[in-house]
Chain A
């Protein structure tokens, strides 16, 4: 165990250094690229914290989908930004902001160093939920998400839907109901089409695989759904498919399917198992899998729509 500490220290310095670069860079696009690299390194840090599930989410959401979102925004805004960026804040403001930042970071660091020992933990409760009433889930994180803290997970899907509605409503009134702007160029290059044709089917399989193993191994609905979303975006970037019209019925059904199924089964639990979001022991595992399938669908539809942005162009009606 002599190499690991060096690796950890190097990794920590790299992450903090990239964060500093993201804040300090003069060029907008350089800052965006720095942030994307930072997201990649964070996935490595999460592995070192023994959190492969989080690393997988960070890699899929932070590295892939967010990267596309930010690079697109950075390139669009970079074309606009010419002279306005020169407005440098006053030195006094810099000092005050620096002092405040230093104080907050220092306080947080002090908290980190003086955390109580032994650490408080909810691990036994989570382990009970994993073994719990007939669930038999080998992956405690999936158990926490679906059973122990199921209300959080359901509301988090609602947040995704609210964000999609928010993004849609930013568009012009006349465009309501139309499709978002295409993600790719009108005539995509051959190599990009080929790449999307290779990646999308393989990636869809990997996404389903990661969802499927999530009951017992690192993985699950979030990670699988994010990978599926990324593959849909790959197909859209190569113009193999277009963003759907936002008034399409299938689209709206797919968006609400995750939380709706979750809620319905939650209420059914009230009658059948005596508690809100309680699963009848005999069917717990199939029920959880059923809920997760619809959650994957909702995530895979919501994330690309968030990246595609508000509807664009004229509504047909």
Chain B
């Protein structure tokens, strides 16, 4: 089993774990981590496509690698936006869960919105 295939299988496993965590965790930060696991799993699959596409004297195909580089930066930007939203949700409602039942039981603890509008 060559390293590229091995990394590709690891990428597939990462997507699986990430999907499982994304569906099941009620905590938004845990969902974000799981989502990032899916993302890096997909990047790894890109990585093996790049490695297998060695041609024209290059040891790898630079196009998928360049896309992974932009992908990492975009994934970070999305994560930062998500973290800002999660922190704001926690500040406004005092809750850190996306479980609908927890929201149904007690409406908002701070109806004024805890600062700001």
Please state if A108 and B45 are interface contacts (CB–CB under 8 Å). yes
Please state if A50 and B60 are interface contacts (CB–CB under 8 Å). yes
Interface string of B7-21 (1 = CB under 8 A from A): 111111111111111
Residues of chain A lying within 8 A (CB to CB) of residue B70: 145, 152-153, 156, 222
Number of A-B contacts (CB under 8 A): 298
Query: At the interface, is chain B mostly helix, strand, loop or mixed?
Result: helix
Please state if B62 and A141 are interface contacts (CB–CB under 8 Å). yes
B27 in contact (CB, < 8 A): yes
With A23-B37, A104-B16, A121-B55 known as contacts, the answer to whether A141 contacts B29 (CB < 8 A) is no
Selected from B23, B37, B50, B85, the residue in CB contact (under 8 A) with A51 is B50
Please state if A97 and B20 are interface contacts (CB–CB under 8 Å). yes
With A35-B36, A57-B69 known as contacts, the answer to whether A51 contacts B47 (CB < 8 A) is yes
Please state if A54 and B17 are interface contacts (CB–CB under 8 Å). no
Selected from B9, B30, B51, B83, the residue in CB contact (under 8 A) with A31 is B30
Residues of chain A lying within 8 A (CB to CB) of residue B101: 87
* Nearest chain B CB to A111 CB, angstrom units: 8
Please state if A49 and B4 are interface contacts (CB–CB under 8 Å). yes
Binding stretch for chain B, among A11-19, A182-190, A238-246, A279-287: A11-19
Selected from A4, A54, A310, the residue in CB contact (under 8 A) with B65 is A54
With A93-B24, A163-B81 known as contacts, the answer to whether A54 contacts B10 (CB < 8 A) is no
A108, B14: Cα distance in complex, Å: 10
Selected from A12, A54, A122, the residue in CB contact (under 8 A) with B68 is A54
Please state if A112 and B9 are interface contacts (CB–CB under 8 Å). yes
Please state if B52 and A172 are interface contacts (CB–CB under 8 Å). no
Residues of chain A lying within 8 A (CB to CB) of residue B10: 12, 15-16, 45
Please state if B11 and A70 are interface contacts (CB–CB under 8 Å). no
A278 in contact (CB, < 8 A): no
A317 in contact (CB, < 8 A): no
Residues of chain B lying within 8 A (CB to CB) of residue A51: 47, 50-51, 60, 65, 68
